[in-house]
């Protein structure tokens, strides 16, 4: 491979990886090389722009740690996360739609029983959340694994607060035998995705805002059913039509109902106004091996 120019480099690179043992890896890498080279030729990428791109990705890597995933954030704002989610989660009509995972999921969240308060001291107006988890055939799904996470009323997740030594606004619970679930938390609010790093600076240069509409994250798992990763969005509020990560689906928008002080769904006598959110989830049956 000598005397390679801007046109022959693509075939040379493809030839260099022709012996890749994995057919899937070879297909992915061949396509990546072809598209990457075509992109560089199409925009006539300069050496300075190439160096700037390398520097950008380096900074994305440096700011990423166990509490901040800047690469997922980059994927989110470029629409790649939504594209992959959509093409990998084609489900029958009637199933709850999936949406992006986001960068703030933390495994091994604290375990709660139904009815307990997952906010765990996070600031915000009280909200009582409940509903039912069913299969596509209408059958209730008992003992489904439910992970929930959200920001506080200042738009911060617990992992963004270095002063915290415990989880807030996130938890793990199981649906009851009849598929019902219920817990207490706080009202979701719009928030800006982290924009103090390279992805935020990129958004600014593109003339884009970093805001997401108010939502709760859910991940629901049950034997015999496909895992569901989704949000429930708050119907009132801003940014539903301009979510920075393109995650909103009409079917995932729900009403958070405000109530005057009084008796909450769990029987608690509330001295302050509170909200309720009722949302049912429908899981698709997992394909048989």
Transcribe the chain into DSSP letters. Answer: --S--TTTHHHHHHHHTTT-S-HHHHHHHHHHHHHHHHHHHHHT--HHHHHHHHHHHHHHHHH-BTTB-HHHHHHHHTTHHHHHHHHH----TTSPPP----S---SSPPB--TT-BTTTT--S-EEEEEEEEEETTS-B-TT-EEEEE---TTS--GGG-TT--S--SEEEEE--TTSEEEEEEE----EEPP-SSHHHHHHHHTT---EE--EEEEEEE-TTB--EEEEEEESSSS-TTS-TT----GGGEE--EEE-SEE-TTS-EESS-EEEEE--EEEPBPPP-
Per-residue pLDDT band for 228 (boundaries 50, 70, 90) equals: very high
How is the chain split into domains, by residue range? 9-45, 74-283
Q: Over the stretch 234-257, which tens digit does the pLDDT of each residue have?
A: 998 899 999 999 999 999 999 999
Assign a CATH topology to domain 74-283. Answer: Protocatechuate 3,4-Dioxygenase, subunit A (2.60.130)
Q: Over the stretch 51-75, which tens digit does the pLDDT of each residue have?
A: 999 999 999 999 998 878 999 999 9
Q: What is the pTM of this model?
A: 0.90
- Burial bucket for residue 19 (CB in 10 Å: 0-12, 13-18, 19+): exposed
Q: Over the stretch 126-142, which tens digit does the pLDDT of each residue have?
A: 999 999 999 999 999 99
């Amino acid at each position: 491979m000598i005397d390679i120019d801007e046109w022959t480099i693509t075939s040379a690179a493809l030839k260099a990886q022709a012996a890749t043992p994995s057919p899937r890896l070879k297909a992915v890498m061949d396509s990546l090389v072809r598209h990457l080279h075509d992109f560089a030729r199409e925009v006539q990428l300069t050496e300075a722009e190439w160096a700037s791109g390398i520097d950008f990705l380096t900074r994305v890597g440096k700011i990423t740690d166990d509490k901040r995933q800047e690469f997922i954030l980059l994927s989110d704002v470029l629409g790649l996360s939504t594209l992959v989610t959509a093409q990998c989660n084609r489900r029958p009509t009637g199933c709850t739609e999936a949406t992006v995972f986001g960068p703030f999921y933390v495994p091994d969240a604290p375990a709660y029983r139904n009815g307990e308060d997952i906010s765990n001291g996070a600031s915000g107006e009280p909200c009582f959340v409940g509903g039912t988890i069913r299969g596509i055939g209408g059958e209730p799904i008992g003992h489904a694994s439910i992970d929930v996470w959200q920001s506080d009323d200042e738009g911060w997740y617990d992992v963004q607060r270095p002063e915290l030594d415990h989880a807030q606004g996130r938890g793990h619970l199981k649906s009851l035998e009849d598929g019902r679930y219920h817990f207490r938390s706080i009202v979701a609010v719009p928030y800006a995705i982290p924009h103090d790093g390279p992805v935020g600076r990129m958004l600014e240069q593109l003339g884009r805002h970093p805001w997401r509409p108010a939502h709760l994250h859910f991940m629901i798992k049950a034997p015999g059913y496909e895992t569901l990763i989704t949000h429930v969005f708050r119907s009132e509020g801003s940014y539903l039509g301009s979510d920075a990560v393109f995650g909103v689906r009409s079917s995932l928008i729900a009403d958070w109902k405000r109530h005057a002080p009084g008796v909450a769904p769990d029987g608690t006598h509330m001295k302050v106004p509170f909200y309720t959110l009722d949302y049912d989830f429908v899981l698709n049956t997992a394909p048989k091996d």
